Structure formats: structure tokens, C-alpha cells
Chains A and B, each alone.
Chain A
Amino acid sequence: MSKERVNTHPYIPNLVSEVKQEMLRDIGVENIEGLLSTIPKRLRLNRLLDFPDPLLSELDLKKHVSEILSKNKPCTEYLNFLGAGCWQHYVPAVVDEIVHRNEFVTAYAGNTYSDLGKWQAFFEFQSMMGELLEMDAVSLPTFDWGTAASFAIRMASRMNSKKETLVPKIISPERLSIIKNFCNAGSLSGNIEIKLIDYDPKTGLIDLQDLENKLSSNTSSVYIENPSYLGTIESQGDEIARLTHNNGAELIVGIDPISLGLLTPPINYGGDIVCGEIQSLGIHMNYGGGVGGFIATRDDPRYIAEYPTHLVSITDTIDGGFGFGYCTHDRTLYAVREEGKDFTGTTVGLWTIAAAVYMALLGPNCIKEIGQAIIKRSHYAEKMLNEIEGIETLFSPHFFKEFVVNFDNSGKTVNDVNKFLLDHKIFGGKEIVKDFPELGQSSLYCVTEIHSQEDITRLTETLNQAIK
């Protein structure tokens, strides 16, 4: 049991005894006990909490925590090929400078007057995303891609009052699990049934026949991803949209925005609601703490009415300037509690600003160039790996930055291979054996603009040794 009493603390000014006494006197009580009377004795904890004594010195604290952190092996020391929804991209120094500005770090819910800069950065995020997506309505992001997809599915269901969604079999299992938590209310009200659409085992594309079979008058929405979880680029967008719309359903498309310098935005092949992940736009991986999910639609009041998330709108001031406010705030829980559209709250404000700065830095040319750098490097890596005997890559050539590597002919398991790579300071691709057993001993590799030819050569050589 810790015994150290804290009578002064750098974070708590009012611990000074005279000040505290003066305040208590003004309140009209003798001591703190006089104010605790509202908490019945039977509910009180009559002992000190049981954990370590404080490290009051900042230096001691820094040493202590840094020592624990140093047990991690970061991707700056190891060569990383893991992706699967959180990707290692380069984060420009300007982005880091801006997101660490203490004004942004410590701001919260202030209005457009005292926090104009925050609101403007949010509007700029929505505006630049709108240009990447060629869509007029973009919301502030929610927690992650999985929640964004879930909200999109629920928006569609509220719009057409239908209770079934079709989701690709090639989907991140984590994302699917989140979607289930949001949609599968079991026998409670509002349940949305989830059906999986099969894929073509050769190409990874949506199996159109299976889609057609599963579409019915009950289908509220069809959700596809482009690129898919396994990296493949879906070519049949317009056909999927036609089938979906013929059934009176909404087409939802999940995307990785860093692909949009090369890939056409989903609105051009019939996407009604677009969602996806913003982590690729200038946000460090942060052990997965860098993710955030966006939602976008046409600027149609029917869609706007169903967003659960905050929507920042520009407006004018009484002297002809501009300011910002929340559009149709009355649809949210803050106005109408359980009558609101799903829910929102504190999500990923800082990452929204990071993504805005990143998009501004890239501009139209660099967003295309970074797409080219990624797709060429990933295909180069795929080619090099494919040349190794015993290794086969799947779903070529239409993929963006992630691809599936199969080890069936090597006689090794993905687990064996990844262990070998780890011993050589390489994080191999994500094992997908349990999630996609039909793909055998396979793993998902991610290559981005950060991977040099030397990195790829090192991977190739080490893999060569691994399967010997």
C-alpha cells in the first residue's frame, strides 16, 4: 500500500494550504469532509487506492515511461510489410508540426468564434475530400472505417426502410465484426441482416452471379470496397451499381483515399454513399491509433438527414465574412437523444486536421504521383516475389498497394516464414490463413511509397532463404 502524501503538485495549484483553507472558509465548511457528505458512507472507499507512489519529477517520469516504450520494435528499425487497414506511409514534417500545435491538441468543443481555426480546418478537410471524391457532401470523420461503413449501411436502411445488406466476402474481418455489432441487433428492433457476396477466386473481383442471386426486394444496400481488403481493384463498379439500383438499393463503396490520384472516384460508377479510412492521409500508424473513417454523399437532403456524424457548413457573418456551424444539428443525439440518427461524439478531430494538411501538401499532382509510386513499387515487389520458386502471388495484375502472397508450393507455413523474417528484422505480411482458408497458406503484403528498391531486394533475398 502506498503511503506517500501529496501536498503539492505541479498540475494542481490549489493544493497550497492557505488557499485551500480560504476557499473552504468561503464555502462555509471546515474541511473536505464537509463536502463529501453527499456521498453516503456505505459507498465510500475508506482506503487509499492501491498502486505505485508517484514519480513527481518529470525527469523520473520520462525515464520510466521511455524505458518501457523502448521495449517496442518500431517499423523504423524493422522493415515492415504489414498493412491490412493501417498502413505505413510517409508523414510530412509540416503535418507533424501542425497536429502538435498545443492550440489544436488542447481545444475541444468551442464554437466558430473562439475556435475558428479548428472549424476552418475541418471545412477544408471536407472540401478537399469532396474534390478527391467529386462529391458535394462530406462529414467529419468517425472512429474508423468499420464504423463509417456501419453508419453508411444504417443510413441506407433508414432511407429505404429495408433490412438487408450485402457485403463482400473479401473484407477485413475486423471491419466485418464492427459492422455486425452495429447491424446485428439479433431479435431486437432495427436488425439489419448481413449477407456475404462471393468473389472470383482468380481475380478477387465480386462474383456478379452471386450478387445477382442474393439481391432481392429486401436488399437495402450493397457494400463493396475498392481497392478490396486484399488489395484488388474492382473493375465492375458500373455493373454492380446497375444491379444494385435496379433492386432499389443503395450502393456503398469503401475506399482508401490515397488511391484517388489514380482510381476514379466511386460516384463515377454509381456509388451513392462513399466511406473509407483517412489514416493513409498523413497520419502515423500509432499502433492503430491513427485510424479514422469518413462518409460522403451527394448534397441531397435525403442523405444529409440520415448522417449520424457532424457536418460542418460554411456560412456568413453579419459583416460579410465567413464562419462555420453544424449543418442540421437537430438530427444528432445532442438535440434529440435516442431519436437522433445513431450516435456521434468525440472521434478523431486531430486526424481530421492532419488529413487536411496532408491533402494540401500533396495537391493534385502529388496525389497522382504518390499513387504511381505506390502502384509501381508494389508491383515491382510482387514481381520479385513471384520469381521465387515456391512463392506465388494471387489476383495479379489489378491491385494497388496490397497483394496476396501464397506459400503453398514452398512447403512452409506463413507462420514459419514470418518467424524467419522476424529473426531478420522484417515484419512479413499479415497471415490470412484463418480468415481466408480457401487461399491456403497466404499472407497479405503492403508496399507503399516508403519502400525502396533496396528494401524490396532485402525482402526478396530473405524470403528466398526462408523457404529454402
Chain B
Amino acid sequence: MRKYHAPVWNEPIIMEMGHKGERGIAIPVIEEDIQKSTEDSEFYIPNKMIRKSLPNIPEISQPHILRHYLRLSQQTLGMALNIDLGMGTCTMKHSPLINEELVKSPYFTEIHPLQDDSTIQGILEIIYKFSRYICEISGMDEFTFQPGGGALGIFTNACLIRKYHEINNDLPERNEIITTLFSHPADAACPATAGFKIITLYPNSDTGLPDIEALKAAVSKHTAGLMITNPEDTGIFNPMIDEFVKIIHEAGGLCAYDQANSNALFGITRAREAGFDMCHFNIHKAFSSPHGCMGPACGAVGVRKDLTEFLPVPRVTFDGSKYHLDYDRPNSIGKMREFMGNIETILRAYSWIMSMGPDGLRKVAETSIININYLIKKLTNIRGITLAYPKQNIRLDQARFSLKELKDETDVGTDDVARRIVDFGVQEYFTSHHPWVVQEPFLPEPCETYSKEDIDYWVEIIRYVCEEARTNPETVKTAPHSQTIKKINTKPLNDPNQWALTWRAYIKKKRKK
């Protein structure tokens, strides 16, 4: 394996940088006429509202600010720099640079969201066309791109379900949302925020799939809907998914398909064929828009024809020659996010789809499926690693593994291994969402971006660390060793006397000590 050490710049916190009197930028001088015809700025502020002293932010000159943040960027292991296939549920795929160039265009960055329709025909065309394509991909009839992230997309679906039952005078009786433990936690948390009670179906310990009998027992006159991921966060496709939908429909509920894990489904299976009423996709995952250190993102929500009246406003329409924004939807749930959402993600996704075409998109799915099953074959040859729910050993986009055997043998667990692999120049892996019903889990997702050599190399790192757990467990437990910093003390993170969310709080608490 190649030698690696992360950049170590030992940068101070910016609050300690600079000198009084330095500055990073200058503001345009106020013209003489403006200066003369206006009062001092304080004149325009009610007395009580005038700030008395300057904020205590640092005074730093421009080269040092640039240097500081360039160094911080170097100390950030972006996907483009590494074999980033460990982050299951995240679909860490190549974000083509041409799309970054397009979103940097002033024809996008310098557009105000409230400009007249006639001056944003380009953006509206992209939104409209992309929504046609994503309708075809999912089988849904209309999309909104307003939700600024996957969780907000899921919350939007919960609000749509709430609105549907409200219009039908079925609230508050229909107050339960059914989800599954291996669906993303937002499928439980977001409908709970919307006011629903949550019923969680646990996985069958043998198959890993939610039990259809448990679903039958859970539905009632209180059922408002089902919010479910498929494949779930195990990579196992639920072959009874259409039956699940049927049971919910018969009980009078709506079904929302969480398609965050859709990378292996493109062109193979769709929400429509499974009978779903609505779905959501993470544009910043399967559709190649970059993750951007956690956003800006988009949870695109699509619905069937009979639910389009509830979608957020405005809708983009096309009259054959011009695009328009339509606000006239009296039953709309209104706004889920200010303005139109993070359309930069849609611009990139449009460009990505145009670079793929229908067959290319299917090849994305097929390649992802081959990659994960190849990875399973290789990883399960390593002592200490087991595939969770091996009864179904074919997975679609990702797979949940367990290091329980390794932990039992060596006392080195999955958190230790995650912290150790970063010493080899790859991003850590995602363990799993809680609760860990699969003990000591990890959840890689080798999407179409990664070559066979990439996967082999990643497997070698895991093999090396598992062996090291036996020969030199302390090295793993005290990892990392070749990273920017050493292992952190996690106790302060939950101690009010020690945590510090700002520099000013840190200084105060340090003084107290």
C-alpha cells in the first residue's frame, strides 16, 4: 500500500489571527453627492438600536485569509481526492467539473429569484426539462425542487400526506405514519415533526426485510401513510414492495417512496410500477450534484397526477413557446423553502443526465450493482467480517457488514476501524444509522465512479486493518496516526462546562478552569 500522510498545517483558529488595523477588503467609497445629501448613518437608526462597540471579529489582511482557508481546504479529504466508497447511503460519486463551471456562470449566479419570467427563460427551461426527465425516471407526473435537502424533501412528503387527509376530512383520525427501521431516520423524524405518530416495522432477523405480517397488523383506520426506503440501508431490495403499497392503499393511506438509495435503480425499476403515490430523490447524491460539505442540496419530490394540486408553489409551466411560473394552486401546501430551492443542483443534474442518456443512466445502475456485489465477494473473504442478512447475498447499491466477530476476537470495533482507515488516505466509512441492530456495522457503497482497482485497494486497506486488530490492536484503537490531528477527547462534546460552540465560549470556559 502506498504511503500517506494528511496535510498538517497547524492552523490557528481564525479568531487568533491578524493585527489591529489590518483589513481583508475595502468597500466602494461613497460618492460625494451621496455623502452630502444624506445624514450620518446613526441618524437613520433609532437610538436604542445603535450598536455601541465593534464586533470582536479578527482584523486580518487578505493574503493571510486566503492562505488560512486554502490550508483548511487542503485538510479536507474531498471525494475527488480519494477512493470514497465507504460512505453508504451517500452515493459519493464523481461530480463532473464541467457542471461546476456551468453553475459558476453569471447567467446563473447573478439571477435574482423574483425576476420577471421573461428574464429567466433559461433557468425555467432547465427546471421544466429536468422535471420531465425525472418524471420519466420515476414514473411520477410532476416534481418540485423546492426542498433544500433530502430531509426537507421527506418533510414535504409528510406535509403532502397531511394536506391530502385534511382535504378529505380524515384528520385527526389518520394520524399514523408507518416506516421501517432500515429506512432513513428522517422517514421517522420528519413525519413526527409534521404531527404524526410513528410506527416502525423492525427487520426480520433472518431476511433483514420488514415483515409483511407486521405491516398487516399495523394498519388501521389511523393509517395516514407509509414512508419507506427501498432498497433499505442494507442494499436489500424489498421484493414485496408493491404488496406493502397495496396494503396501505387498502387501509386508505398514501405511500411515499424514499429514493435516496436510487443509484442502482435507474432505468430498472420505478416508483410507479411499485404503485407509489409520491417519492423523493437526493439530487446531491445519485444525480451527481456535489455534496458541498453538506449542501446546498435538493430533495426533489415527485407525485402522481391526483396529488399535483398539493405541491408547493410556484409551478413551472410551458405554453409551447414560453415558460411561466404558476402560483394559482389553491390547494397547494405553499412554500417549503424560500424561493425555488437550490436550482444549482438541478442545473448540474440536468447537465449530468444530458451527458448520460437513457442507456448511460442504466449503465450507472448496472455498474453500481456489479461493484457492490464484487465488493461483497472480496470483503466476506476477510476474517472477522460478515455480511448482515446473508440469506440475500445480492445487494443493489450498498451492503451492511458487521465487524462483531472482529470485535469479539480483538476488542477492536467498527468505530476504531473507521478511525484507522483514514490513515491510508481514504475517507472513513459510514457505520450505520442508529440503532445498531446489526452489531459493529459498516456500510460501503461503491457506486459507478469506482474502478475494480479502486475497490481492490479499498478492500486491501480493510484487510490490513483487520489483521492489525489482531497483531497490534492498540494502533487501531488509538488511531488516527497519519491524519491532520490525533484522536480527540469526546467527553467535552456532551459536558456543558466544557463544550464550546464559539471561540468566545471557549475562552470563557478555559478561564474558568
Contacts and interface: CB of A to CB of B under 8 A. Distances in A.
B422 A114 contact: yes
Interface stretch (A206-214, A215-223, A359-367, A459-467): A359-367
B49 A233 contact: yes
Contact of B506 (A286, A314, A321): A314
A450 B370 CA distance: 53
Contacts of B267: 45, 48-49
Contact of A38 (B74, B273, B392): B392
B277 interface: no
Interface in B435-489: 448-452, 454, 478, 480, 483-489
Given A44-B273, A45-B270, A349-B294, A101 B70 contact: yes
B294 A185 contact: no
Contacts of B51: 260-265, 368
Contact of A347 (B116, B149, B487): B149
A383 B34 CA distance: 10
A462 B482 CA distance: 63
Contacts of B43: 397
Nearest to A313: B499
A418 B189 contact: no
Contacts of A118: 72, 76, 293
B62 A361 contact: yes
A189 B195 contact: yes
Interface in A42-79: 42-45, 48-56, 58, 61-62, 64-66, 68-76, 78
B355 A11 contact: yes
A375 B266 CA distance: 52
A362 B430 CA distance: 37
B60 interface: yes
Nearest to A418: B116
B390 interface: no
A328 interface: yes
Interface string A111-148: 11111111011011011111110111111100111110
Contacts of A92: 24-25
A417 to B, nearest CB: 13
B217 interface: no
A430 interface: yes
Contact of B102 (A69, A190, A299, A323): A69
Give the bracket for the number of chain B residues in contact with chain A.
35 or more
Nearest to B434: A335
B358 A50 contact: yes
Contacts of B362: 48-49
A121 B338 contact: no
B24 A94 contact: yes
B127 to A, nearest CB: 10
A107 B293 contact: yes
7 contacts: A38-B237, A69-B105, A72-B119, A82-B112, A86-B113, A136-B501, A289-B344
A287 B162 contact: no
The 10 closest A-B pairs by CB, nearest first: A288-B339, A188-B195, A185-B195, A54-B357, A345-B151, A288-B113, A235-B46, A130-B502, A349-B293, A117-B72
B383 interface: no
A44 B500 contact: no
Given A106-B78, A237-B48, A74 B427 contact: no
Contacts of B119: 72-73, 78, 422, 427
A361 B65 contact: yes
B318 interface: no
A139 B501 contact: yes
Contacts of A189: 175, 195, 197
B466 to A, nearest CB: 19
A319 B487 CA distance: 8
Given A72-B122, A73-B119, A136-B502, 15 more contacts: A2-B359, A6-B360, A54-B356, A103-B77, A107-B77, A116-B483, A118-B72, A287-B120, A288-B339, A291-B339, A314-B503, A315-B490, A346-B294, A351-B296, A363-B24
A191 B419 CA distance: 42
Nearest to A330: B494
A47 to B, nearest CB: 9
A437 interface: no
A159 interface: no
Interface in A328-358: 328-330, 333-338, 340, 342-353, 356-357
Given A110-B77, A263-B49, A288 B341 contact: yes
A436 interface: no
B111 A285 contact: yes
Contacts of A377: 30, 34
Given A38-B237, A113-B428, A188-B195, A380 B37 contact: yes
Contacts of A252: none
A15 B504 CA distance: 53
B203 interface: no
Contacts of B191: 338
A146 B55 contact: no
B482 to A, nearest CB: 10
Contact of A364 (B54, B152, B341, B358): B54
Interface stretch (A20-28, A194-202, A404-412): A20-28
Given A48-B362, A116-B75, A333-B188, A352 B44 contact: no
A349 B339 contact: no
Contacts of B427: 110, 114
Given A82-B112, A110-B428, A269-B48, A317 B488 contact: yes
Contacts of A234: 46, 49
Interface centre among A13, A186, A188, A191 (most CB of B within 10 A): A188
A152 B265 CA distance: 38
Interface in B121-145: 121-123, 125-126, 132-133, 136-137
B392 to A, nearest CB: 7
A113 to B, nearest CB: 4
Contact of A352 (B293, B503, B504): B293
Contacts of A40: 239
Contacts of A182: 193
Nearest to B47: A235
A160 B415 CA distance: 37
Contacts of A107: 76-79, 291-293
Contacts of B148: 143-144, 347-348
A49 B361 contact: yes
A103 B378 CA distance: 29
B98 to A, nearest CB: 5
Interface string A82-109: 1011101000101011101111111111
Contacts of B291: 106-109, 346, 349
Nearest to A96: B104
Contacts of B111: 72, 74-75, 285-287
